[in-house]
Copies of this chain bind each other. A is one copy, B any other.
């Protein structure tokens, strides 16, 4: 739905929406019995809830398109993931829970090893330990460049994120990483004229980084790539008139929620912890995004039984969510991660949306086949938030 229309229709209310996102929820049949993870799992609570809910399958981007976590979440939050694309540097920043604002340009980076002639010998500096990375990032974080604020943060092993913060910066920059050994790191260049000043600043930073690291072994330089500014999107709380909170165990998902303007509640360790945080903050917010990771992790590992177990774990917590009496309760995923494919996939994702006035659509269980049997077997994921708003009685009439 057009976000202008969302903004026009949204009205305040005291109703509460809980969106439970089970990462990588959708699956595929395994060979032995032709059943998917959701079909094999004992999930009586989800099946019973589905029978009382609006159910279907959602497509995050389009037919045949496998969404990353970024586009998947944006779509669930109501943003067209094709219109609002999140650049790699920003996504990496989300992954370490960096606070990013509209005047930032973020870049991914690697520590690397240069030889005496400044040619790259190892693009990953022998995959230095995360500890070494932290130590070196600390050093780089002390670099000062006039006209821009610098934030250098470690990710994992040889990976880092650099954020350039300041007015008038642009992300229309080429990479310094030539992506192949044997060459020298490249000077960063402006792709468009408005990025010329940013290119100068980034190259100054890279010069200083070279100086700061020259005695280090093996990580005596960094390579930057994927410069990106946060997407210019209208903020979720303003659009939907919802005080919105994100409850997560992992920085990536918390970072994505912060990008759209949700409040990030303290990190949790597991689903029970998330439920406690949800209950503790229930009065303070109108919308809760709760992220459950285990389904995706098992799927990525190709662990069919593990994904089944994760689904059963999720199912056992469903009554606890319902005991909070949300006005709208949604269970879905940000993409499919079938164990048989060991990764994200393009297959549409089951969803259920319960409210007192949801008009259940005759789907009898919470599996891919059940959800495909109803009339919403091919819904766009961006339509979920408008439906949630309607069911929360938070949308006024369109026209008179």
Give A residues with C-beta under 8 Å from B. Answer: 1-2, 5, 9, 28-29, 57, 61-72, 81-82, 85-86, 88, 91, 338, 340-341, 344-347, 357, 359-362, 368-369, 372-379, 383, 386-391, 395-400
The reply to whether A347 and B376 form a contact with Cβ atoms under 8 Å apart is: no
The reply to whether B69 and A400 form a contact with Cβ atoms under 8 Å apart is: yes
Least Cβ–Cβ distance between A91 and chain B, in angstroms: 5
Known: A67-B397, A390-B64. A369 touches B362 (CB 8 A): yes
Name the prevailing secondary structure of the A interface residues: loop
Known: A57-B375, A359-B28. A395 touches B68 (CB 8 A): no
Partner of A1, one of B63, B372, B379, B386: B63
Nearest neighbor of A369 in chain B, beta-carbon distance:
B362
Least Cβ–Cβ distance between A265 and chain B, in angstroms: 24
Nearest neighbor of A375 in chain B, beta-carbon distance:
B377
Least Cβ–Cβ distance between A1 and chain B, in angstroms: 5
A391 to B399, CA, bound (A): 30
A-B CB proximity, top 7 nearest:
A375-B377, A64-B386, A64-B390, A68-B399, A71-B399, A63-B383, A346-B390
Q: Which chain B residues border A359 with CB–CB below 8 Å? A: 28-29, 347, 368
Partner of A395, one of B64, B377, B379, B383: B64
Q: How many copies does the complex hold?
A: 2
A397 to B346, CA, bound (A): 9
A376 to B373, CA, bound (A): 10
Nearest neighbor of A85 in chain B, beta-carbon distance:
B399
A67 to B383, CA, bound (A): 16
The reply to whether B62 and A383 form a contact with Cβ atoms under 8 Å apart is: yes
A37 to B368, CA, bound (A): 31
Known: A387-B63, A399-B67, A400-B88. A372 touches B372 (CB 8 A): no
Known contacts A64-B383, A66-B395, A66-B398; can you find 14 more A-B pairs with CB under 8 A?
A: A1-B64, A5-B65, A29-B360, A61-B398, A64-B387, A64-B389, A65-B386, A66-B396, A67-B397, A68-B400, A69-B399, A88-B400, A345-B390, A346-B395
A396 to B345, CA, bound (A): 10
A68 to B361, CA, bound (A): 24
A57 to B374, CA, bound (A): 12
Nearest neighbor of A374 in chain B, beta-carbon distance:
B372
